[in-house]
Each structure stands twice: as structure tokens, then as C-alpha cells.
A and B are shown apart, each in its own frame.
Chain A
Amino acid sequence: MPKLSRSAQLDQAIQALLSYTDSVPPVKSSLAPLVRIAADLCDLPREEFKARLKSDLERKASMATPAVTPFREGFHSLTPYLIVEGAAKLIDFLKQAFGAEEKFRVPKPDGRIMHAEVRVGGSVIELADANAQYPPRPTNLHLYVPDADSVYQRALAAGATSTHEPVDQPYGDREASIRDPGGNNWYIATHKAAGPGQFTPEGLRAVTIYLHPKGTPQLIDFLKRAFNAEEDARYESPEGAIMHARIRIGDSIIEMSEAHGPYVPRPTGIHLYVPDADAAYRQALAAGATSLTEPNDAPYGDRAAAVQDPHGNSWFLATYVRDVPLPG
């Protein structure tokens, strides 16, 4: 019997694979990897099927009404607005420590930053240098990362001060905390109780605002009346103090616990996208907020207003109206 060429031997094996016979003829070991590839190629999808399914899905998607969303792309309902002395230095820190990506900055003639946006994980953080109207307001932020220990070390190397070394918390988080060069506190955590490959608890994104108010129940009540907030979770001490609460506003969560010990109230700047900034402004005033800025058409494309809640937090209310090209 004539000796078969390598290409003929391979074809014989392929024929057996395509016939779904269990007996693929033995081949030289040098051909074995090619036979394994051929076995996978038996499942190669039909191009016509892929194209037809795509057009079916596109037809179905075009019939669905796009959700009316009041956000600029990349934003969610809640975004922390950090007001600090040394915004440029803080941006450098966020890049080095947390791998932040700078989206853009609007400098003033004196080099200070009027407004900047960075992205950390899937979350946006806005920041600006303090001025007479808005003095520095250090804030607390909860950051979820794949490996809290290494991010904690990177933060220290980038100039942060440690306030709490990494420890395993009873609620399933590996958690540390640091203070950044702008004075903001960061709780750096990895949610160990999440499934494989996950590091964020359900409902939270990379960055979440964390408040320590005096009178947490009153603040929660205000948020319900002003912004239609809902309680996602509440844990109380035996004495009835709120140890931890998760409050949902729109598609985002804000966390809080009653001020105690070193955890003092730190009024925070919060950018809140709402379906109707004018209506939200009126509702917030009716709930007990004071006006900082009346609703106006902002040059960056949002309908915007600002109020202060009874606990001193500033809420920058906005509704996305149109896209305006951003600098940078």
C-alpha cells in the first residue's frame, strides 16, 4: 500500500471527525496538534447564521425605545465632587495609586483647576481647586479593587498616609484605609465574599461616596423626600445608632454610618444626575435644602442647579440636555 502524504493523512482524520465516527485513524505525533485544531473547526459557525442573528437582534433592538437617561456618557446618578487645595497633585496621586485615567481638565489662568474629571475603574470622580465660594471639603470614598493589599501599598508609595492597615472584616471585605494628599479618606476594599473573579458587592461600583453624618436617620429622611431615595440596607447597633446604611438614589448607592470617634461629619460635594433638574431643585427646597445656585443652562450642556442639605452636603443637580465637545 503506498505511503500516504501528511496532507492525505490529515484529510483522512478530518473525514473521520466529520463523519462523527469514534475511530479517528491514528496519525503521526507531529500531526496530532493539527487534528486537534481540525476537531475544533468542526464547530466553526456558519457566517450566514451569525449575520442573520445579528440582523434579527438589530431589528428587535431598533423597536425598543432607548431609555431616556439624564446622564452624560460614563456617568451614573451619583458622582463625588472633590474640592481640594492642590487638585493637580491629587490627580497625579489618583493616577499613581488607583490607575485613574484623566478624562479632561479645565485650568484657570493661574494654573489652578476649575474642573476636572478622572475615571477610576467604572466610576467618574470630579474635582476642582477650592475657591472662596467652595472651600476645601475633604470627603470619604469607598473604593473596590481586585486586590486591596497591593492598592493600599501603591497608595502609600504615591504619598498617602495610612489610617488603617489591610484587615479581614467580618462582612466579607479585605479592607484598608488611607488619607490622600487632598485630605480625602479612602476605604480600599476587596469583597472576598463575591463570586470568583468578582471584587465588588452587589449594587456597588468602583467608587461610592461614604458619609458619616450626625443624625443619619434625619439625613436619610431628607434624601427620601428630596431625591426619592430608597433604603437598600440598614444595620443598627443595639443602642439604635446606624452602623451602616446603603441608600439608593437613581442607579447609584451612597453609604453612610453615624459619626463616631474619628469618623466625623465631612460635608461632601455630590453631583446628582436627575431626570428633571428644575423639578429636583424645587423638591429639594421643599424638603428643607437651601439654594446655592438656581437652575440654569450650563455651558457644558447640562441643565444645572445646586442646593445644600441640612447636614451641609452640596448637591449639584443636573440633567443632561445636549453633548458639548469637551476640552482635551
Chain B
Amino acid sequence: MARGQPRSEAREEIFAEQLLIEAAQRDPRRFAELYEQNFDRVYAFISRRVRNREEAEDLTSEVFHQALANLPRFEWRGVPFVAWLLRMAANAIVDRWHSTSKEQVDPRHDAEDKAALAEVEQRASLFQLVESLPPDQRLVIIQRFVEQRSTREIAAELGRSEGAIKQLQFRAIENLRARLGGAHA
């Protein structure tokens, strides 16, 4: 197979996605499936560039509302749907900067850049893998990173030692590293 040609499974995935897009263009209720497939990618792209949870959520929400409204005008041209979403995300970030006069690196190049897209896929996979952790490890990761609580607070709530929580946290992250297949190694 020639270099640069997508693997056949990847192509099948793209065409399955195309069918789903067309179904959602006819019946907007199907948009929820596109949302589920792409939420983590869009959030991963935005959160890396704004470094503030509220702003990341605000912009993610803006992108998906805009995508739902503009879906009837979306024309499929052989690129994954996420590329369209990330372009919208990059524009939304730039608009936000303009309104707050922040000077930052323009993210619109990243929405087209292969390395940046690979990073988005990797971060989105990581977010999804958290779901597959054993319940106690998953709980510690969410309390620690989403709720931003200290290991002492988590230990007190769960009635365990602080050392045990640090161990759980350590094993969870090791687990994630193993499941990512060395992408972070």
C-alpha cells in the first residue's frame, strides 16, 4: 500500500462516520452519537490551550452547539468529522482571545497539524481509559484531578491511610500508562 494512504480499517471508520453524519443531517437527534464519539477529542484540544476548566467547558459547549446548528451545511470531503470540529474549536479560542486581548500562539495551525492531532487522539484516549480503571483507582483519579482534592482529604473521606491513597493513585497512573501502549513512555 502506498505511503500516506489511510489503512482500510481507517477508511471504513471514516465511511461509517459519513453515514452517521448523513443520518444526523436528516434527523438531528442522531447528533448525540457524533457528540459521544468526539467529545473527548474536542475537550482535549481546547483544555490544552486554555488551562482553565471553566473556559474549556464554555468553549467546548460553544463548539458542539455551533456544530449542531451548522450540521445541515456540513459537506463531507474525505476528512474525519473531528477535523471540522477542531477548526471550529480553534476559531472559538481565537475569538475568545480577541475579546480578552490575550496574545497567544494561534491554535488554528494546530487544527491542521498532524502532530497536534496525534496529541489530541492520545489525550482523548487517556480520558476514555480512565473509565476502564478499577472503581477504587478511578475514584481516586477523579477526586484528585477533577475535584482537585488532596490525598489527605480523599483518605479522610474513604477512611483509608494517606499512603494507601498515594499507592492507589500510583497504580492507577501506571495502569493508564500500560493501557496507552507506551504512547506516553
Contact A44 to B26, CB < 8 A, known contacts A14-B144, A57-B65, A203-B75:
no
Cβ of A240: which chain B residues have Cβ within 8 Å of it? none
Cβ of B148: which chain A residues have Cβ within 8 Å of it? 18
Is B4 engaged at the interface, CB distance under 8 Å to the other chain?
yes
Contact A53 to B23, CB < 8 A, known contacts A195-B79, A197-B83:
no
The contact string, 1 if C-beta is below 8 Å from chain B, for chain A 89-106, is 000000000010000000
Cβ of B185: which chain A residues have Cβ within 8 Å of it? 33
* Contacting pair B60 A197 (CB below 8 A): no
Is B136 engaged at the interface, CB distance under 8 Å to the other chain?
no
The size class of the interface chain A forms with chain B is: 35 or more
Is B103 engaged at the interface, CB distance under 8 Å to the other chain?
no
Residue of A33, A53, A198, A200 near B177 (CB, 8 A) is A33
The contact string, 1 if C-beta is below 8 Å from chain B, for chain A 146-173, is 1101100000000000000000000000
Contact surface of A with B, Cβ cutoff 8 Å: 5-8, 10-11, 14-15, 18, 20, 33-34, 36-38, 40-47, 49-50, 53-54, 56-58, 60-62, 64, 66-67, 69, 73-74, 99, 119, 121-122, 144, 146-147, 149-150, 194-200, 202-203, 205
Is B130 engaged at the interface, CB distance under 8 Å to the other chain?
yes
Is B78 engaged at the interface, CB distance under 8 Å to the other chain?
yes
Cβ of A45: which chain B residues have Cβ within 8 Å of it? 39-40, 43, 47, 56-57, 60, 127, 146
Distance in angstroms from A15 CB to nearest chain B CB is 7
Quick one: which of B45-89 are within 8 Å of A by CB? 47-48, 51, 53, 56-57, 60-61, 64-65, 68, 72, 75-80, 83
* Contacting pair B173 A200 (CB below 8 A): no
* Contacting pair A147 B5 (CB below 8 A): yes
Contact A197 to B78, CB < 8 A, known contacts A43-B56, A49-B57:
yes
Contact surface of B with A, Cβ cutoff 8 Å: 1-2, 4-6, 8, 11, 15, 18-19, 22-23, 25-29, 31-32, 35-36, 39-40, 43-44, 47-48, 51, 53, 56-57, 60-61, 64-65, 68, 72, 75-80, 83, 112, 114, 123, 126-127, 130, 141-142, 144-146, 148, 150-151, 163, 166-167, 169-170, 173-174, 176-177, 180, 184-185
Could you pull out 13 A-B pairs where Cβ atoms are within 8 angstroms? A6-B170, A7-B170, A11-B169, A37-B126, A44-B142, A47-B146, A53-B57, A57-B31, A61-B29, A67-B27, A146-B6, A195-B112, A196-B114
